[in-house]
Amino acid sequence: MATNQQRREAAKRKLERQLARRAERAKRRRIVGVGVTVGAVVAVAGLVVVLATRGGDSVAEGTDPAAGSSSSAAPSSEEIQIPTERVEPASRAEPLPNPTSCEYPESGEPAKEVPAPDGKDVPSEGTVKVTLHSNVGDIGLNLDRSLAPCTVNSFVHLAREGYYTDTGCHRIGTQGLQMLQCGDPTGQGTGGPGYTFADETFDSLTYGRGILAMANSGPDTNGSQFFMVYGEAPLPPSYTVFGTIDDEGLKVIDEIARAGHDGSFDPSPGGGKPNTEVTFTDVTVEA
């Protein structure tokens, strides 16, 4: 028969085992909690990097553009990793009707006076070469009508009307979403051409180095702002892809990216104004 001393020691050992198990369970809960928190942060980061524009074209819905110029934003000078391989160009499984019709309804005040394009008998076959001549080098674009005929029609129209000339690129992302966003004459991320047009997206769209796409503030809100992807771009298929960037143009964008940004669009939608100022001195179109 166990003595009182033995029973007390047995009870003490049992209590110590219980406390040890509780401590281990608490430790596991803390680890799981950190994992959940990290997962939530990643999910939120995925949302804030989305290329959103407001009022036709802007930085992000619910964001005060004036706050974007805050001097408290830390400069981005971190060493960035840029992929060297291009992604496969986008393609549709089924061709679009040729020709097709496009609608460009009025939307807000234009950042720069320009008429809306003609939306009748728009071709949905062939390509158009466009060169963005800038103060830091030429960026060549190959626009694909088979992907997005209405988008190409609008972009070529704006280029020929001089809409993009003497405008710049107001935002660059270097982490998570690696792209250069341009096409707003105001330079604030809030300007558009005074009209919008529908998305030309499809479910198999992906984004990565070499892809040219339209920025938007939601479904069917395309205007004049576009983004050029030079690296990673984990985005949903919600942004109209309408062409690719040539190799020399990617080299120019790489250098702009390596110079960093001012962080003025952090934390949402992310990135900031490029430290290297980019201005399009001319835009030429070769049909």
- What's 69's DSSP letter? G
Residue 249, φ and ψ in degrees, nearest 5? -65, -40
**Per-residue pLDDT in tens (0 to 9) along the chain, 287 residues:** 556 566 666 666 666 666 666 655 544 433 333 333 333 333 333 333 345 554 444 333 323 333 333 333 344 446 899 999 999 999 999 999 999 999 999 999 999 999 999 999 999 999 999 999 999 999 999 999 999 999 999 999 999 999 999 999 999 999 999 999 999 999 999 999 999 999 999 999 999 999 999 999 999 999 999 999 999 999 999 999 999 999 999 999 999 999 999 999 998 889 999 999 999 999 999 97
Asked, for residue 18, whether it belongs to a domain, the answer is no
pLDDT at 282: 98
- Looking at residue 173, which CATH number applies to its domain? 2.40.100.10
Asked, for residue 2, whether it belongs to a domain, the answer is no
| Token digits of residue 116 | 């809306």
Q: Nearest 10 degrees: CA dihedral of 103, 109, 114, 118?
A: 10
Asked, for residue 43, whether it belongs to a domain, the answer is no
- Order of strands, sheet of 241-245, starting from the edge strand that comes earlier in the sequence: 168-173, 179-184, 226-229, 211-214, 241-245, 137-144, 127-134, 280-286
pLDDT at 53: 55
Q: Is 226 exposed, middle or buried (0-12, 13-18, 19+ CB in 10 A)?
A: buried
Judging by DSSP bridges, how do beta strands 241-245 and 179-184 pair with one another? unpaired
Asked, for residue 29, whether it belongs to a domain, the answer is no
Q: Are 184 and 192 in contact (CB under 8 A)?
A: yes
Asked, for residue 59, whether it belongs to a domain, the answer is yes
pLDDT at 79: 83
Q: Is 247 exposed, middle or buried (0-12, 13-18, 19+ CB in 10 A)?
A: exposed
DSSP three-state, residue 282:
strand
Asked, for residue 37, whether it belongs to a domain, the answer is no
Counted domains in the chain: 1
Asked, for residue 183, whether it belongs to a domain, the answer is yes
Range of the domain at 154: 49-287
Asked, for residue 15, whether it belongs to a domain, the answer is no
DSSP codes joined into one string, 111-173:
SS--PPPP-SSB--SSEEEEEEEETTEEEEEEEETTT-HHHHHHHHHHHHTTSSTT-EEEEEE
**CA–CA gap between residue 128 and residue 143 (Å, rounded):** 5
